[in-house]
Amino acid sequence: MLQWLSGDPGGEEAAPAADVPRAQGGFRAALRRRLTWRVLPADDASSSDAVIAACGIVALAVWLAYDRYAAGASAPAPRGVDYLVGHDLIGIFEDGWAALHREVSLFVGEALLAVLRGVRTGESGTLAGLHGLQRSLETHLEAGTPWLARDALDVLAALDAPAWSGLLGLLSECPIIPDAVTAIVERRTGRVDPSAFAFVATNADIDVVRAFMARVPQLLAC
């Protein structure tokens, strides 16, 4: 990140190193290319990119402002750049991880719990499974670990398989956005790639998560 900052035309840093090229389209485009997978990566690649995603969610507002500034917009250099310069990557990661926990894991768990609490009718076996999921979510949300209720999500597969697949990805300790979520939000027809996903790394990704959860009651017919 700091090497990217060295390209600030208004700063005093040296030009970027030759082996750290500035990608066309700005940081957001480069981050999206880095964090969007068409197939599941190896575990080591997945974990390292999850760290980048957590950092990215903190840096997003800074980089959007910086891209405008670097493009010559008549605005002062964004103050948030000083934040990145003055904080180590561990601190940025911790802030990003906290944001993922708050804006995705807890949000998705609480939104799904609200849907489940509204269920009144249905086939007896399905109702029993939904009530079991509700109790599990209540317990684990109170502890701040809603992903521990993931095993109880299986009851949703019979109601709407793509929605279930999307919730499995979102309701995890390191949330991801499965292709099913994007397809539902975009109302995309055709095949959904079960192995494709993106890490949550931008404010736009948070908007996708919220748009998906807004459709969950309809999808599950609850």
**Residue 100: what pLDDT?**
85
Least confident of 50-54, 126-130, 194-198: 50-54
- Sheet of strand 197-199, all strands in order from the earlier edge strand to the far edge: 36-37, 197-199, 176-178
At 200, the pLDDT band (50, 70, 90 cuts) reads confident
Name residues whose C-beta falls within 8 Å of residue 8's C-beta, 6 or more positions apart in sequence: 66, 69, 70, 77, 81
Mean pLDDT of the chain: 75
**Residue 131: what pLDDT?**
94
At 112, the pLDDT band (50, 70, 90 cuts) reads very high
Pinpoint the alpha helices (H) of the chain: 2-5, 26-35, 43-70, 80-86, 89-100, 107-117, 124-142, 161-170, 179-186, 203-220
Average pLDDT over residues 185-198: 89
